[in-house]
Chains A and B, each alone.
Chain A
Amino acid sequence: QVQLQESGPGLVKPSETLSLTCTVTGGSINTYYWSWVRQPPGKQLEWIGYVYYNGYTEYNFSLKSRVTMSVDTSNNQFSLKLSSVTAADTALYYCARGGIADRRGAFDYWGQGTLVTVST
């Protein structure tokens, strides 16, 4: 059974960089697309972007200038960096596996989510 687990600081200061890592167990990181999705408190889901196992990335245009994603296939991990954060970046951050073929773009496995608060 594939499992995903987010890790990283729960508190980030304004203007600093948010950094999260997702560890994948129970399956290989190869082949699939690995996404980050966030959900501000009480609001809807927002796709941040994905990294393919070969390092190819696609980002949400609204965040593109501040987002960097990378993959570490040797450790079955992928990461998110979001720079110059503000209070608007406070959210529950999920990592998720993106499907292929008919499941393209859909997320079949999710981490439990990690709350990141931007505050002094």
Chain B
Amino acid sequence: DIQMAQSPSSVSASVGDRVTITCRASQGLSNWLAWYQQKPGKAPKFLIYAAFNLQSGVPSRFSGSGSGTDFTLTISSLQPEDFGTYYCQQTHSFPYTFGQGTKLEIK
């Protein structure tokens, strides 16, 4: 299985801050990577596919970058509603696997 490692495991930031979450894969993925946001008690929300493509309806302050084994999710100007846990997922090969999550808290 391809292992996905996210860092940091948790982050606390203020409204307006730029936040970056990284995801590293144990094998090359080309650009087959997705990002999700999950809030407590809710299903994950689809944010980004194929490493940098924003899903329809997702605010433009979210962006993704990277290829191969190293990827980044960036929130350019943090908003109060952006709290939650963020997961990366490799969609390169079976079985699809997720990172362990990065918990984002608003200061």
Q: Which residues from B are CB-within-8-Å of A60?
A: 94-95
Q: Which residues from B are CB-within-8-Å of A62?
A: 1, 95
Q: Is there contact, CB below 8 Å, between A107 and B94? A: no
Q: Is there contact, CB below 8 Å, between B44 and A107? A: yes
Q: Which residues from A are CB-within-8-Å of B36?
A: 107
Nearest B residue to A64 by beta-carbon distance?
Answer: B95
Q: Which of A13-21, A75-83, A98-106 contacts B (4 or more CB under 8 A)?
A: A98-106
Q: Is there contact, CB below 8 Å, between A44 and B100? A: yes
Q: Is there contact, CB below 8 Å, between B87 and A44? A: yes
Q: Which residues from A are CB-within-8-Å of B89?
A: 45, 105-107
Contact with B along A94-118 (1 / 0, CB 8 A): 1010010011111111111100000
Bound state CA distance, A110 and B89, in angstroms? 15
Q: How far is the CB of A118 from chain B (nearest CB, A)?
A: 21
How many A-B contacts are there with CB distance less than 8 Å? 63
Nearest B residue to A112 by beta-carbon distance?
Answer: B43
Known: A94-B43, A107-B44. A47 touches B49 (CB 8 A): no
Contact with A along B74-107 (1 / 0, CB 8 A): 0000000000000101111011111111000000
| Residue B23 CB within 8 A of the other chain | no
| Residue B25 CB within 8 A of the other chain | no
Contact with B along A29-66 (1 / 0, CB 8 A): 00000000000000011110100000000111110000
- Please give 18 more A-B residue pairs, beta carbons under 8 A apart, in addition to A110-B44, A110-B46, A112-B42: A44-B99, A44-B100, A44-B101, A46-B98, A47-B98, A60-B94, A60-B95, A94-B43, A102-B50, A102-B53, A103-B49, A103-B50, A105-B89, A105-B96, A106-B46, A106-B49, A106-B91, A107-B46
B residues near A, CB below 8 A? Answer: 1, 32, 34, 36, 42-46, 49-50, 53, 55, 87, 89-92, 94-101
